[in-house]
Each structure stands twice: as structure tokens, then as C-alpha cells.
Chains A and B, each alone.
Chain A
Amino acid sequence: MMKQLSKYLKFDLVSFFAVVLTLLGLAVAQKPQAVQAATSDGKTQVVFWHEMGGPAEQALLKIVDGFNKSQDKYEVVPAYQGSYDEAVQKIIQTHGTNTSPAVFQSFDISTAQMMDSKYTTPIQKFADADSYDLNQISAGARAFYAKDGQQMAMPFNTSQPVLYYNATLLKKYHITPPPVSPSYSDISRVATQLYNRSNHKVKGMTVQIYGWLLEEALANAGTSLTNNSDGHDGTPTKVNLNNPTTVQFLKWIRSNIQQGNFINYGSGASAGTNQIAGFLADKVGMFIQSSATIGQLTANNKNKLGITYFPHPDGTKANGVAIGGAALWISNDKPQNVQQGAFEFIKYALNAPNQAQWQKATGYLALNKDSQNETVLKKLYASNPEAKVPAQQLATATPNKTNSGILMQGMQLTRELEETAMETVYNGGDINNALTTANQSINDNLKLTNQANGVKPK
């Protein structure tokens, strides 16, 4: 009996293994395609992961195509990876496997995570070896992606938060437009006039519930969000969200909400879409958003578009805002020639003509200083003078440690908590309470993050 049983069991184990091996075989058979380092025509393959959708993707694919045709050593293979947030996880989790990218695009707030990962080769290394002059690239944009004087990543799609206004409506109601670098009260003045003179048909303004905008308000006032100068002098160990600058910013919004000038479109992607729809339909006169939306706002707009710098608190000068967007990084898990190919591609993408074309197509800023002399941009500025404003804002600001982005891990969660605080305030909650609660949660999380990453508290 037992013997019989063990025979059956053995037999069964054999069939088990057969199934396992078949499954494994199938799984392995699926893989190799993407792994090949060289294409059939002998070019070195450089896999490029990006997160550009819509018109920006079209423009990006044009650059890739141009690069592939410009030389016969490398073949860049682009792959769209969905949203920025999810792409970060994919990049980190695939590192060291043969499915990982050779060059990838990763967004601003993942910068600290990427720097700390040690998964990338600094751009500085290639630039030094190639005697590539990094100074031709905008200093304000580079500052965010540099550490200890080393350029870690190459800024690519770069935007600035700006204020958009409906110039046609302002003219219709005889309202003086805001100055090019407006203060909070300049904006409140226009919002109130627009709301009242339109008989409450047009809301004056909106500020999307978006942590980025809150951080930019701090940057523009020269206030650090975290200790260690927003991470530029070492890993942050403490966050101070409940500071006078944040309070002033939220009080400004609160006063406009109370006067009825303000419409709240909420948070998230739908809020962004809804506010643009509202702006184009003359329901709201002003809003603050990335300069990258400029394309959408000029293409379908029957009205004249006005643009100013990001507003600053009354009585101080604008300190300048940090850039938004994403940078290009080179993975260090690929052979030397593939990494070199990645750098060649980055150089190509950042040359003056490509950057000029990129700005025209997407609204992201041309980062190569020589791009301003390109005919494409000259023509653009001639027909849309306001398109120059974001680039001017970037060029005017001197990069310092408060306006060069926040280098802290866990920024995604931090933003979420900032947004919860903003939502609470927008919905009538107490400003101090909202900020204290958010600050507590952000600090608790920061402590855990640092503990998990092996950062010793000072």
C-alpha cells in the first residue's frame, strides 16, 4: 500500500515538474526581444523610457527619429511608461535586469530618490570626458539636478509655473492687466474687479490644489521647506510647512475665496482639465499653472492670452521659482558603449535647434541658450509675445538654495499631504491647524523614510 502510494506520488511529482518547466520555458521564451544590445544592422541599441503623452510625445519621437537618422552607431528605442509616479517605481524595480532602460526620463520630485539610488552615471562624467560645455544649458534648470557641483542628470522637459490671464476679458471690463511680476494684491485686485464688473459671471481666479504650486510660492519668497537648505546641503531631516510664507500664501487665497472671486476646481488631473476648460469658456479669468500648458491655451483660445510671472508676496521681490518637469538620466547597469550612446542622444536632444522646436511644439522651455537665436523661436515670439514670459522668468532668476527644487525622498507623499492641507483650507478649515496636521504627518513619514534608508538623524 505505502509502496504503491509513493510510486503514485513520485509519478505525480514528475508531472508537477513538467508543468513548472513548461511554464518557465514559456516565460523565458517571451523575453529576449527587448534584451538585444545590437540591432540587425549592427547599431547599438539604447532603450529610452519616457513619460510624455499627447503632443509632447509626438515632438519627442521626432527628436528620437532625428537622432537615429543623424548617425549610424546608435539606435534609440523609445518606450512610453505611463505617468511619472509609476515610471519611477518601474525604473527602480527593473534596475539591474535586462529589461531596464539605458536612458530614462524621471520627474523633478524623484530627483533625490534617483541621486540616492546610485543607479545612474552622472552626466558630469560624460560631459567632462567629451568636453561638453554644460554652461550652454540654462543654469536655473541645471541647479535642480546637480549635487555637490556635479551634474547628475540633464534637465529636459522644463517648465515654470506662471500666471495666465484672459487679456480679452480684462480689456472688455476695462481692467488694467497685472504687471509682469505681480504681487498677491495685484492679482487680488484684478480678480475682484473682474468678478464685480462682470456681474459675478466670471470668477476672478483659481489656484489649483497642487503641492507644486505651494512649494513654488515658498521658493518665490525665498523660504526653504526643509532643513539642510531644501536638501542641497544634505539629506533633510525636518520639514517646516507651517511657516509665515505658507500662511501668507493660503491667507491670500482664503481672502479671495471669501470675497467670491475664487473658484475651486479641486485637485488631481481632472482639476487641471476642468480649470483649463473653465478658462477657455470665460468662466474664470486667471489661473496659475505650468508653462507647459501654453500650447493648449493658445491653440483653442478665441481670446488673447496674457502671462505673468508667478505672484510673490507683497513687499518682497520675487526670488524666482524652481523649475518643474523632468530630466534625463543614464542608467549605470548598461555597458559603456550603450551609456555613451545615451549621452550622445541627450546631447542631440539638447542642441539649440531641437530645443527651440521642442519649446514651440510643447510649451516646455528651450534650455539651450542658443535656442533663442533660432528662427523658430523668433517667429513664435513675434506672433505670441507673451510666450517669452516663462523663459524670461527662468532667465531672470539667479539660482540659489531656495529656488532650485527640494531634494528630499518621499516628495510624492509630501505633496499629497500638502494638498490635503490646501483642500482643508479651501473648504473653510483653519489654516494653522491644517498646516500643523500636515507638517506632523510629513515629519513622521520623513523620519521613517530616513530610518529605512539608513540616514542617521542629526
Chain B
Amino acid sequence: MLKNVVEPEPGSLDVTPTTPKAKSRTKVFALNAKDKYYALLFLGPSVLLLALFVFYPMIKTLYISLFLTSGLGKTTVFTGLGNYVRLLTSADYLNSLGVTLIYVFAVTILTIALGLLLAHLASETLPGIGIFRTLFSATMGVSVSVAAIFWLFIFNPSTGFLSLLSNWLHLPVINWLTQPNTAMVAVVITTVWMNLGFTFLILLGAIQSVPTSLYEAASVAGAKPGYQFFHITIPMISPTLFFVSIITLIGSFKSFGLIDLITKGGPTNATNMLVYRIYKDAFYSGNFAQASAESIILTVIIALFTLLQFKILERRVNY
């Protein structure tokens, strides 16, 4: 709704003292009784459901995170912020935080860069381009488990495609999934590959909706294709880029399936991301208190990043 409010054009004659934003935001307590009734009626069910399935678990998680939990999963000893202090001073947890950040940034940047490249290429109207568009977006239809098995076959050190290839080229065989550095690379490659289909499709749609008249005008003015890409395409699709970057960022923070199926957080915790850690601490080790504290920390981190993105990136977005 807010976005539809017409901002006064700079230099226009409109000099109303009240800003349009303030006008459009209706204060809740300014509603009359009937409106309040309808507000309650329509919001009620969703508030109730949210309370039951979101707010209650969230508060319970916060509560559990302040205790130690016994082998039976019961809260026994109150430790206050003990779990948080222990986590934030443990080299192990900080390592997980570090690898998660590396993973998230690598995945987000690569997904968007490659998605943009493919979308740009596929936006050309050439005979047979439909085949490429289908191929580039094909990973959207692949489930995580299928993708994981597919890549596990590729990375297998004895019989995998990559080791056969390096044998053939007389290169040393890399044990992709058993060395800390390469395991991270392998997981990033797999995730980017998985994300690419969706990103490509969204960006392609955005590129195609840029009015061709802009490019025609630019061509007449003598702008080269590269210049057109950076000065017309990118600014015009910036809302979509913004959307995709947030979705990818949050999605990679929460990445679980591929990690579980490919590395299980190993080797040497090199791919033990925050979410995977929570799962392992809770459902493998039965340490619900620590897992709860980790969940709260992760929530705060994701909220911070999303806020940051809104603050920084939104300024560069042209709606």
C-alpha cells in the first residue's frame, strides 16, 4: 500500500507540509468501533494460529535456553545466560559461525552472479532459446535429496566423475568431501547449483519486463551493450535483485538438507553450519537447552542481516 503513494516529484509545485507517508498510515486507535470489530475478526484467526505455532514455541525456546536440560529433555538447573556465554566463548561455536558466514556470502554472491549471467544470456531472443531457458531453470524441479545423491556420486573419491576426470587428465585426485577446505567448496557448489534454477527464472522474468524502448534509446545514443547492462538492466531489475538476495541469504542461513546428506557437518566441523548444529545438538545429543540458545542466537543474526540489507540495499533500489 505504501508504495503506491505518489511521492512529490522534486521541484514540483506540491508543497503540502504533511508528508504523504504520514497520511497513509492509519493509527490503530483512530479506528472506529466497527472497524475494530472487523480488524479483530479478520486478524483474529491468524493471530491465534501464530500465537499457537509461532509465538508460544518462540517463548518456550527462549525459556529453555536459560536452563540446563537433563537426559530426559527436562529443564533442571537454571543457568541464566550461561548457555549463551558458553556458546559465544566456545571456539567450536565461533567456528560454526565463521563457516556459516563464509558459506552464506559465497552462496548468495555466486548464485546472484551466475543467475544474472544466465538470465542475461537467455534473455536474447534466438532460435532454440527455450531449450536453454528450460535447462537453466531445471534445478528448480530437483529435490534436495536427489541433488545430494547426484553430487555425492560426482564427488566420490574412488568412483566419482570428478576423480575419473582427474585421472584421465593425470591430475591429482581431490578427496572433495573429506578435506575441510574442499568440502566447503563442494557444499557451496552444490547449493549454488540448487539455487540457480529459481534465481535464474526470477531474474529472467525481471530482465524481460524491462521496456525495450530504453535499450533502443540507449542504442541510438551510442551506448555499448556492457554499458546498457550496467546502466539500464541492473537498475531496472534492482527490486528483483534485492528480493532474490534476501531470499538467498536467509535461505542459505537456514540450509540444512544438503549439509545433512552430503557432509553431516564434517569434516572437522568445516561445514557444521548454525542450523545443522541446532539439529544435531537437539536431536542427536539431546541437549535441548544449548540448541535453544543457538536458535535464539541464529534468529537474532538473521534479523540483523535482513535489517542491514534493508537499510543498505534498499537505498540503491529503484522501484
Contacts and interface: CB of A to CB of B under 8 A. Distances in A.
Interface of A: 1, 4-5, 8-9, 11-12, 15-16, 19-20, 23, 85-86, 88-89, 92-93, 113, 116-117, 119, 209, 263-271, 274, 277-278, 281, 283-284, 409-410, 412-413, 416, 419-420, 423-424, 426-427, 441, 445, 448-449, 451-454
A8 B264 contact: no
Contact of B71 (A5, A113, A274): A113
Interface stretch (B55-63, B100-108, B282-290, B299-307): B282-290
B266 interface: yes
Nearest to B290: A448
A281 B157 CA distance: 12
Contact of B68 (A11, A269, A410, A452): A452
B73 A281 contact: no
A416 B71 contact: no
A117 B73 CA distance: 10
Contacts of B36: 5, 8
Contacts of B48: 16, 19-20
A36 B91 CA distance: 50
A27 B252 CA distance: 33
A116 B48 CA distance: 39
B267 interface: yes
B179 interface: yes
A255 B154 CA distance: 29
B2 interface: no
A180 B159 CA distance: 30
Given A266-B178, A452-B69, A454-B76, A88 B286 contact: yes
A453 to B, nearest CB: 5
A423 B70 contact: no
Sorted from nearest, which 3 A-B pairs have the closest CB atoms? A266-B178, A452-B68, A278-B158
Interface in B237-283: 261-264, 266-269, 280-283
Nearest to A9: B40
Given A9-B40, A12-B40, A270 B262 contact: yes
Given A117-B72, A277-B156, A1 B33 contact: yes
Contact of A266 (B71, B72, B158, B266): B266
Contacts of B285: 410, 412-413, 416
B33 A5 contact: yes
A420 B69 contact: no
Given A420-B268, A423-B266, A452 B37 contact: no
Nearest to B45: A19
Contact of A4 (B33, B40, B159, B264): B33
11 contacts: A11-B37, A19-B44, A264-B178, A267-B267, A270-B152, A270-B262, A413-B287, A423-B180, A424-B268, A427-B180, A454-B70
Contact of A441 (B68, B73, B92, B267): B92
Contacts of A410: 71, 285-287
Contact of B44 (A16, A278, A283, A452): A16
B204 interface: no
A424 B268 CA distance: 6
B76 A452 contact: yes
A268 B263 contact: yes
A19 B43 CA distance: 13
A301 to B, nearest CB: 15
B264 A267 contact: yes
A326 to B, nearest CB: 16
A412 B177 CA distance: 22
A266 B44 contact: no
A224 B54 CA distance: 46
Contacts of A412: 284-286
Contacts of B263: 266, 268, 270
A413 B290 CA distance: 12
B284 A266 contact: no
Nearest to A417: B92
B102 to A, nearest CB: 18
Given A86-B283, A283-B158, A409 B179 contact: no
A97 to B, nearest CB: 13
B110 to A, nearest CB: 24
Nearest to B267: A423
A320 to B, nearest CB: 28
Nearest to B181: A427
A95 B280 CA distance: 21
B71 A116 contact: yes
B169 interface: no
Contacts of A448: 68
A89 B279 CA distance: 12
A281 B70 contact: no
